Chain A
Amino acid sequence: MELVECEWCRVQSQPGTSTCPTCGAPLDVANLVSDSGWREAPRMRDMAQFRFSSSSVQVEGTIVPVAEVNLAQGDSVYFEHHVMLWKDAHTPLVAYNVPGGARRSLAGMPHVVTVAYGPGRIAFSREAPGELVVLPLAAGVEIDVREHAFVVASHTTSYSFIRIKGLTNLLHGGNGMYIDRFITGAEPGVVMLHGNGNVFERYLQPGERIQVEPGGFLYKDASVQMNTVQLDVKTGMFSRGLYVAEFVGPGRLGIQSMYHHHGSD
C-alpha cells in the first residue's frame, strides 16, 4: 500500500487521507509553483485539522484565519499575548520571561510570552488578511522568523532570538533589531506564523542568491544568510539608494506579498 506524501511538510500519510495530519495542507491539491520557483504556501481548507503531540489544531476562516488549539493534558503552547482571540475559561495561562527581556523591550518586541496549558481550548489570530503558515519542525531544526509574524508554537519548540548583526542590516534591513529563532531538540515541534497577503517559499541551493524587499521576508532556515545590500537608484527627491535583503542559500526562504515598506518613503 503506497503512502501519500505531503508536498509541504513531506510527512507520509495513509492513502485516502485528504488533509495532512501534521500540517493541515490539502493532500489532494498539487503544489502551486511559479515558473520562477516560488511555491505557494498551501491554502488550508476551512476547518482543516492537524495534530501535534497529543493535541490538535483546527484552522478556521480564509481571510484572517484563526488557529484553534485543543490542548491535551500535559501539552502546552506559547504565544504573544495580543494574538490570543479567545480561550476556555478553565485553560490556565502562565507568563514566561524570555531571556534578555529588557533588550527586547527596548527594541519594541514582547519580552514576555504567555504559555497556555492543557486540557482546554484556545484560539489565535493576527490582524491582517493573509495566511496561516504551519511549519512542522523535525528534531534538531532551527528556523528564523521576522518579528511580529509568530502566532503560536508547541511546547517542544524552544524560543529565543538573535540580534541582527551589522549596522547596515540593523538600520536599513527593515526587520528591526531581532529575529525570532525557534529550535527543536530531541522531539519534533510545530510553529505557526501569520503571513500578510500570500505566502511563498523557495529552497535556495548552496550559494544561490535572491534579493527581497526587507518587509517581504517572513522566515528562513537558520542556514540561510541574510544581508542588506543597496541598489544604486534614486528613490526620492532627496534620497538615493534602495535597500533590499539579499539571501544566500542553502535552505528555505519564505516571503509574504503584503508588507510594510521601509526606508525610502
Chain B
Amino acid sequence: MTAGTGVEYTCRYCRLRSELGDGHAACPHCGARVDLRHVVSESGWVEQPPIADMTRIQFGRSYVQVEGDVVPVADFKLAEGDSVYFSHHALLWSETDVRITNHPNASGWKRFLSGMPSYMLDAAGPGRVGVSDNHAGEVIAVPLPMGGAIWVREHRFLAATGNIDYTFVRTGLWYQTGSGDDRETHHPVGTYDDVFSAQGGPGLLLLHAPGNTFIRDLAPGETIHVQPRSLLYKDLSVWMGLHVESPRTTGWSTWRRNWQLRTMFLRLVGPGRVAVHSVFENELEGERITGGQYTHQQW
C-alpha cells in the first residue's frame, strides 16, 4: 500500500505496520523514509535508506531524533520512567539532570577478556542525552516487536531502550594460524556477539554501521558468502559458519594458493534476514591456516 495521509503502511525495512498521518515522512518505528524509491540491486540486496536528518522515532513516551549525515548522533528525549543503555564510549553529551548509572551486566569478565565493552551505562529520564559512534556511516534503527530477537555483531551496538534484554553468546567461529608457540587463534566475527530481545514489550535497538547498509531475506536453505567483518545483524534463524575458498591457479603461483590467495568468508544459510555494511576490515591473508572449524572450497 502506498504511503499517504491516514493510510495503513507496512515499512519495507522494519516490516512493522503503522498508521501514517499528515506530515509523516518516515516510518514511525525505524525512521526509514516512506517516499523513497525502493532500491534493490539485481542480486537482491536492498539498500537501507539512511535516516533523514532530524527524523524522530517514538518509543514509549520518549523519542530519539537522529541528527547529521556523516557520523549521525542519536539524541534521546527521555520521559520520566524511560531509559536507554549504551556503551560508555558512545556517550557524546548529556544534560546534567539525566541520571547516568551502570547497566546491570552479567559475566563482564568474559567480555573484558574478549575485548568487548564490559560495562555499559543506563541513562534515565527525564532529560536528554546524545550518543554517537566513531566511524562515518549510518544509524540503523531496528524496532523489536514483543518476543522478537536479533543477533548483532560485536561493536556495532549503539543504544537500546531499557526494556530490551541484552545477552551475549559465544560465536564458536574460529581458525588458527602458525604452529607451536606461535599458534594464534582468530575469531573473524568476534569471540562473543550480542543478542537483543524484547520479552516484556516492544523496544528499539539502534546500531551504527560504517559505510552503507544492505539487507536481504534468505529463503530456507539459501546460502550466501559475505566478508565476516561486514555482517551487521541477522535473524537468529540464520545459520552461519566459516568458509575458505582458494582460487584455481596455474604456473608458479600454484604452491601458494592454499594460504596466500585464499579468502575467508562467512557462510550464511537461511531462512531469515541478514544485513551487511560496506566498510569493513579484511580478514588476514597470507598466513597459512593450521586449524579451526571451517569448510573449504578449492576451485
Contact = CB atoms under 8 A, between A and B. Distances in A.
A63 B119 CA distance: 33
B246 interface: no
Contact of B132 (A32, A129, A258): A258
Contact of A36 (B77, B108, B118): B77
Contacts of B83: none
Nearest to B74: A257
Contacts of B109: 237
A198 B93 contact: no
B102 interface: yes
A160 B202 CA distance: 53
A237 B109 CA distance: 7
B67 A258 contact: no
A264 interface: yes
A261 B86 CA distance: 15
Interface stretch (A2-10, A133-141, A228-236): A228-236
Nearest to B68: A198
A244 B121 CA distance: 14
B173 interface: no
A80 to B, nearest CB: 22
B94 A257 contact: no
Interface residues of B, number: 37
Given A258-B136, A259-B134, A212 B118 contact: no
Contact of A198 (B72, B89, B121): B72
B75 interface: yes
A64 B26 CA distance: 29
B298 to A, nearest CB: 40
A148 B100 CA distance: 30
Given A32-B53, A38-B75, A233 B101 contact: yes
Interface in A234-265: 234-237, 242, 244, 246, 255, 257-261, 264
Contacts of B77: 35-36
A197 B93 contact: no
Given A36-B128, A210-B93, A235 B71 contact: no
Nearest to A237: B112
Contacts of A259: 92, 134
Contacts of B150: none
B112 A216 contact: no
A242 B75 contact: no
A38 B71 contact: no
Given A198-B72, A200-B68, A213-B91, 16 more contacts: A34-B67, A36-B75, A36-B130, A38-B67, A40-B67, A43-B69, A197-B70, A198-B71, A200-B67, A210-B94, A210-B96, A213-B93, A244-B94, A246-B96, A258-B133, A259-B92
Interface of A: 32, 34-36, 38, 40, 43, 63, 129-131, 196-198, 200, 209-213, 216, 231, 233-237, 242, 244, 246, 255, 257-261, 264
23 contacts: A34-B54, A35-B56, A36-B75, A36-B128, A38-B67, A40-B68, A43-B69, A129-B70, A130-B71, A197-B68, A197-B71, A200-B67, A210-B93, A211-B93, A211-B94, A233-B119, A234-B119, A237-B112, A255-B93, A257-B68, A257-B71, A257-B132, A259-B134
